[in-house]
Structure 1
Amino acid sequence: MNTTRRIVLIYLIVTILLVTLICMQVRRDYNSLVNGNFSNLLNTSSKLALKLIDSKYSGPWNIVGEKLYKGNHLIDENFFMIYEIKEIVDGEVTIFKEDTRIATTVTVDGKRQVGTKASPEVIEEVIKKGDEYSGKAEVLGMEYATKYVPLIDSKGQVVGMFFVGVPQGYIAKLIDNSIYNIIKGSIVLIVIATIFYNILIRMRIVKPLEMIKEYFELMASGDFTKEISYEYLNKKDEFGQISISLKNMQNSLKQIIFNIRERSNELGVDSVKLAATSEEMSAFAQELASTMQQIADGATSQAQDLTEITDSLIELTNNIEIIHRELQNVKTEMGKAEDKASIGKKEVDILVKSIEQIRKTFKLSIDKIGALTDSIKEISGITEIISDISEQTNLLALNAAIEAARAGEHGRGFAVVADEVRKLAEESKKSTERIADLVSSIIEDSHEVTYASQNARQAVKEQTKSVESAVKSFGDILASVENITALMNKTYSAIDKSVKSKDAIVKRVEQLSAVTEENSAATEELAASSEELTASSQDVATTAQNLNVLAEDLMEVISKFKV
């Protein structure tokens, strides 16, 4: 059963019940009204009839013998008068002598009921008490609406009664005929109203409901292309308001789908960029780790060279001390001193070359550390870009979750996807923050290494000057050997100066060795940090791939909607 039939059926049931109740109430009211009217009518009729009798027959009522007279006129079996009165009052008429009918229009089986008696309650009220009686009364086994009036003689005695009445069946028939006419008219009106109501419901309710149902079914299937007719949008009733609300909902859902589709495209592009950036960062981190390992190997080699230099310096100072002790015997040991001086000069030349090599190595290390610092700063910039991308992705995920919440049940899948995107964005942000911390630590360590390397370079420079001074001293020694006698005091002074400066040389070489070891440790830490950076870059790449997959899934879901 469709909606129209249900509404019409409900309308018919309610209308029939209402008409039935109205008819019942009308019957009660009409019955009361008719009875009241008949009571008044009978009262008027009785007075009219008695006046008619008085005008026609003058004189008082009296009983002479067994007969009832009105003045000098016999009333017993005066049927002509009775029927004349009946025609006037349109009801049954009876004249009683005391309690017995002597003239009546009431018949049973075609026979006038003369000689029959009135009912006891009427006799009691009228004959004995002398009062009038109005209301229902039984007349020869039938109910009548009656009016009994006592007939009074000249002495004030009740000598009879005058009756006028109408059968209750006649009254009921009048009422039923009236109700029947009302029902017929009501049925005609109900049929006409039902047809009109059916057409009205069809045009004003069912048709708009079918339109609304059609649009909801289209939107439920994901089709938002069909526009709502202006016929319904311009209505001034509730359906017009519903149509406007439906139009607003349709526009809102279309805008949500457009936004989600746009954000999905942006998310896909950003995830691809993030993956490419993370791959570049991973490659750079691997290259950085390789470079750090090379620097660490070079620093280890430098430490070994400095150890050899230290040993050579110790040996050199020992030789100088020997020279210093043996100068007293220089005359006899001149030849040996000359040989040792030559050896010492060669060793000092080797030392000069080694120190120069150390200086160049430190310069190269400082340059590489500076380049490393610049690269790490670039990594820091990349991590900031990744962090910005993560924050933007998180914001996009939040917008997607809000739009999904507005979509209700249709947006529940979008909300789950948006939540996954948000979690991945937060993980990416945590990874970039960790990378930023590592990069900051590497930059600080690099600055310390650079500062230490510069100090070591300065120390090597000073060592070079000292060694060059030693070379010059050895040249003087060789010259003094040739002129040993004349220049002995000068040679002794130079040797004494060398002895005094040898502790400073050894100390500075040891400092240079310590700095080199620190450089080696720092480069090893940089290599470890680079490996961690590589791992973090791989995590970011994995996260970017996951974001791309989620973006593709979201686009696949959104593509089902037609807008």
Structure 2
Amino acid sequence: MHFFRKLSIRSKIHLLVFAVSLFMAGAVLTSAVLIQAGGVQTDTLLLLAGVLIALLGVGQMLLYPFTRRLHKRLSAIAAAMESAAAGDFSRRPSDTASDEVGRISQAYEQMVGDLQDVLGTVVLSSRELAASLDSLSSRAVLAGERGTDIAAHATEAAISAEEQLRRIEASIRAIRDIAADAAIISSQSEEISHAVSRTGRKSAEGDEAIQELAEQMDSIYTIMDQLALVIQELGGRSQEIGQITSVITGLAGQTNLLALNAAIEAARAGEHGRGFAIVADEVRKLAEESARSAERIEILITSIQKETEQAVLTMATGSAEVAEGIRAAGEARASFAEMRDAILSLASSVQAVSERAQSMSRTSASALDAVTEAAETAARSAHQTQAVSAASREQTEALQEVSAAVRNLTDTSAELGRLTSRKRL
């Protein structure tokens, strides 16, 4: 019996058919022998018929257990497959035979085991993927918000850099105007110096008054120097521009005062001083133009630095000293006795104005170089800030795309979880 179970289904069927055929052949052979022997009786034929029927019954009895067991085994496999089709992989046929049906059952169990491992891995991976996607989504949203903030700050910085660049360019234009005015003042001062040299021999008196005026101008210069020290606290390029403004303001005031004195003395000289009066008037106009340019620079500095409030206080002190200088100049005018005294006194002052104008021109050139360098730096900064702003916007867009992809993966992971949850392992 154990040997019979090890046979394949095809071999078992062939064996059973062969046994039945053998019985049938024996019965037929027996009938033939009896018929040839002659004298076959009716009882004998009935006996043969009974033997055949018995043989058929024996064959049927041999085939029935086999077909019944085969049907049961195939039904178990079919039931397990139907359960698997419905999503339940827990049902197993458990057929250990070595025939075709047994191998089918064992192969099915192996397939179900592998499928259970795969589904278990898929379930675990989908859960881990869902957790990772949740964390990634939160981080992507946070990174997107930070990227938006960075882009906004970068845009504001770009606007501020452009505004600073415009102010520096305005300062450059003002300094160039002052440099041009300083060159004109220097040229006109040289002409005045030549005129004073021609008439300076006639000057002999008024030294004491001019000395007092010079001391007062020195006091004014000291106040302007204090103003320059205050402006130095503004720092950087504004400090250099403030010092230049202080020097220009002092020179403009001194030149205007000297031009006024020269005009008065020229008026007193009559026809002899008419040409000198014209030159003095031109110097006064240039001094006024320099003063106006200095005021424009002061306005630009005020818009950039808050510390100019202290400079305003120092300017007020300088104005008081200038008023005192005007009073001293009035006393000096009263002491003038002759045209020659005023011209001789003016000669040294005009020479100082010429030197100061040349110094102002050189200082303006230095300031122009410094401000130009600052403008180039500001331009580079503005360009870099714009590049940062554009990169921040691109990063924000990329993060938004990542967030969308994460949401799609989250939906896919959830759908995969729903599909695997329907399967019973």
Q: Same fold (TM over 0.5)?
A: yes
CA contact (8 A) 2:23 2:55 kept: no
- Partner residue of 2:289? none
Correspondence list, 1:347-358, <5 A: 356=235
Question: Residues 185 and 285 (structure 1 numbering): CA distance in 2 closer, same or farther, change over 3 Å?
Answer: same
CA spacing shift, 1:355–1:266, aligned 2, 3 Å = same
2:123 pairs with 261, 271, 279, which one? 261
Q: 1:179/1:27 Cα in 2 relative to 1: closer, same or farther (>3 Å)?
A: farther
Distance 1:249 1:261, change over 3 A: same
Task: Indicate which of 111, 119, 128 corresponds to 1:249.
Answer: 111
2 CA distance for matches of 1:179 and 1:220? 58
1:220 Cα offset (Å): 1.4
1:270-285, aligned counterparts within 5 Å?
Answer: 270-285=132-147
Whether 1:505 aligns to 2:379 is no
The offset of 1:294, in angstroms, is 0.9
> In structure 1, what residue type is equivalent to 2:83?
L
Q: Secondary structure at the match of 1:275?
A: helix
Measured in 1, the distance between the counterparts of 2:409 and 2:93 equals 38
1:471-482 maps to which residues of 2 (within 5 A)? Answer: none
Show CA shifts across 1:80-107 (max 9, x none): xxxxxxxxxxxxxxxxxxxxxxxxxxxx
> AA paired with 1:212?
I
Shift in Å, 1:191:
0.8
- C-alpha contact 1:23 1:183 (8 A) present in aligned 2: no
Shift of 1:188: 1.2
Deviation at 1:301, TM superposition (A): 1.2
Q: Give 1:64's aligned residue.
A: none
Who is 1:222 aligned against?
87
Q: Flag the 1:516–1:475 CA change in 2: closer, same or farther, 3 A.
A: same
Gapped regions of structure 2 (runs ≥ 5)? 1-9, 197-209, 259-324, 326-344
Name the residue aligned to 1:300: 162
Q: Quick check: 1:195 aligned with 2:61?
A: yes
**How far apart are the structure 1 equivalents of 2:233 and 2:42?**
141
Q: Which amino acid counterpart does residue 496 of structure 1 have in structure 2?
A: Q
Distance 1:243 1:23 in 2: 39
The 5-angstrom pairing of residues 395-544 of structure 1 reads 460=237, 464=239, 468=243, 492-493=354-355, 495-544=357-406
Partner of 1:547: 409
Cα distance 1:20–1:224, how it changes in 2: closer, same or farther (>3 A)? Answer: closer
- CA 1:255–1:226 in 2, change beyond 3 Å: closer, same or farther? same
Distance in structure 2 (CA, Å) of the matches to 1:518 and 1:192: 109
- Quote the sequence identity (%): 15
Shift of 1:251: 1.0
User: Residue type of the partner of 2:382?
Assistant: S
Partner in structure 1 of residue 338 of structure 2: none
Deviation (angstroms), 1:510:
3.3
Q: Which has the higher contact order (CA 8 A, sep 6+)?
A: 2
Which of 172, 178, 192 is the matching residue for 1:310?
172
Return closer, same or farther for 1:351/1:178 CA change in 2, 3 Å cut-off: farther
Compute the displacement of 1:296 (Å). 1.5
> 2:86 aligned with 1:213, yes or no?
no
Provide the alpha-carbon RMSD of the alignment. Answer: 4.9
Q: Which residue of 1 aligns with 2:285?
A: none
User: For the Cα contact (< 8 Å) 2:130–2:413, is it kept in 1?
Assistant: yes
* Aligned with 1:185 (options 28, 41, 51): 51
User: Distance between the aligned counterparts of 1:286 and 1:351, measured in 2?
Assistant: 42
Higher-helix-fraction structure:
2
* SS of alignment partner, residue 536 of structure 1: helix
Q: In the alignment, what sits opposite 2:189?
A: 327
Unaligned runs of 5+ in 1: 1-6, 39-170, 360-459
Q: Supply the distance in 1 between the matched residues of 2:346 and 2:402 (Cα, whole angstroms).
A: 77
The CA distance in 1 between the partners of 2:389 and 2:24, in whole Å, is 100
1:219-249 C-alpha deviation (Å, 9 max, x unpaired): 11111234554xx33x344443333222211
Q: Distance in 2 between matches of 1:352 and 1:543?
A: 58
Ranges of 4+ aligned residues in structure 1 off by more than 6 Å: 13-17, 175-180, 472-491
